[in-house]
Amino acid sequence: MPEMSGTGEVRKLSYGEAVNAALHRLMEELPETLVYGEDVGEPGGVFGVTRGLRKQYGDRAFDTPISESAILGSAVGAAMMGRRPIVEIMWADFSLVALDQIVNQAANVRYVSNGRLAAPLTIRTQQGGAPGACAQHSQCLEALFLHVPGLRVCMPSTPQDAYDLLVTAVHSDDPVLVVENRMLYFGAKEEVRVGGAAGPMGGARVRRSGTDATVVTWGAITARVLEAAESLAGEGVDVEVLETPWLNPFDTEAVTAGAARTGRLAVVHEANVTGGFGAEVVARVTESGVPLSAPPLRVGTPDTRMPAAPVLAEALVPDAARIARELRALVRGAS
Partner 1 sequence: MSERRLADLLAMWRIRAFEEKVRDLRAEGSIVGSVHLCIGQEAIPVGACDALEPEDALFATYRGHGWAIARGVPVTPLFAELMGRATGVNGGRGGSAYFTAADHGFHGENSIVGAGAPIACGAALAGRFDGSGRAAVTVFGDGAMNQGAVHEAMNFAAAFDLPVVFVCENNGYSELTPIADMVRSDRLAGRAAAYGMPGHRIDGNDAEAVRFHMRDALEVAREGGGPTLLECVTERIAGHYIGDAETYRRPGEMDRIRRREPITRLREGLLADGVPAAEIDAVETRARGEIDTAARTALAAPLADPATVKEHLYA
Active site residues: 137
CB closer to partner 1 out of 83 and 182: 83
Collapse the DSSP code of 46 into the 3-class scheme (helix H, G, I; strand E, B; otherwise coil) and give the result.
coil
Q: Does 170 bind partner 1 (CB under 8 A)?
A: no
Q: At residue 87, what is the residue type?
A: V
Give the number of other Cβ atoms within 10 Å of residue 236's Cβ.
Answer: 9
Report if residue 252 touches partner 1, rule: CB under 8 A. no
31 or 310, CB closer to partner 1?
Answer: 31
d(CA 297, CA 76): 39
- Give a three-class secondary structure readout of 264-275: CEEEEEEEECCC
Give the helix ranges, DSSP H, for 179-270: 182-185, 222-233, 252-262
The verdict on 247 binding partner 1 (CB under 8 A) reads no
List 3, 12, 43, 112, residue binding partner 1 (CB under 8 A) = 112
**Nearer of residues 81 and 188 to partner 1, judged by Cβ:** 81
Q: Which of 118, 124, 178, 126 is nearest to 150 (CA)?
A: 118
- Give yes or no for a contact between 300 and 270, defined as CB atoms under 8 angstroms apart: yes
Instruction: Pick the binder of partner 1 from 6, 114, 236, 291 (CB under 8 A).
Output: 114
- Site residues for partner 1, window 181-240 (CB under 8 A)? none
Q: Which is nearer to partner 1, 152 or 207 (CB)?
A: 152
State yes or no: residue 113 binds partner 1 (CB under 8 A): yes
Our finding on whether 333 is near partner 1 (CB under 8 A) is: no
Position 263 contacts partner 1 (CB under 8 A): no
CB of 35 to partner 1, least distance (A): 12
Instruction: Give the residue, chosen from 65, 234, 236, 333, that forms a contact with partner 1 under the rule CB under 8 A.
Output: 65
Residue of 271, 264, 261 lying closest to 299 (CA atoms): 271
Residues near 284 by beta carbon (within 8 Å), at least 6 away in sequence: 252, 255, 256
Using the rule CB under 8 A, give the single segment among 10-18, 154-162, 171-179, 261-269 that binds partner 1.
171-179
Q: Determine, following the binding rule CB under 8 A, whether residue 104 of this chain makes contact with partner 1.
A: yes
Taking the least distance from each CB to partner 1, the nearer of 150 and 187 is 150
- Residue 40 as a binder of partner 1 (CB under 8 A): the answer is no
| Residue with smaller CB distance to partner 1, 109 or 241 | 109
DSSP element (H, E) containing 88: strand 84-89
> Any contact of residue 78 with partner 1 (CB under 8 A)?
yes
Sorted by sequence, the CB contacts under 8 Å of residue 211 that are 6+ apart come out as 238, 240, 261, 262
Cα separation, 190 vs 160, whole angstroms: 8
Q: Which secondary structure element, helix H or strand E, spans residue 26, and what is its range?
A: helix 15-29
- Decide: is 39 part of the binding site for partner 1 (CB under 8 A): no
- The CB-of-58 to partner 1 minimum distance in angstroms stands at 11
Q: Binder to partner 1 among 150, 187, 196, 307 (CB under 8 A)?
A: 150
Options 14, 20, 50, 105; binder of partner 1; rule CB under 8 A: 105
Contact between 101 and partner 1 by CB under 8 A: the answer reads yes
Q: CB nearer to partner 1: give 48 or 150.
A: 150
- List of residues 6+ apart from 31 with CB closer than 8 A: none
Within 8 A by CB and 6+ apart from 142, the residues are 127, 153, 155, 179, 218, 219, 247, 269, 271, 277
Which residues here bind partner 1, judged by CB under 8 A? 32, 34, 59-60, 64-65, 67-70, 72-83, 85, 97-98, 100-101, 104-105, 108, 110-118, 149-150, 152, 172-174
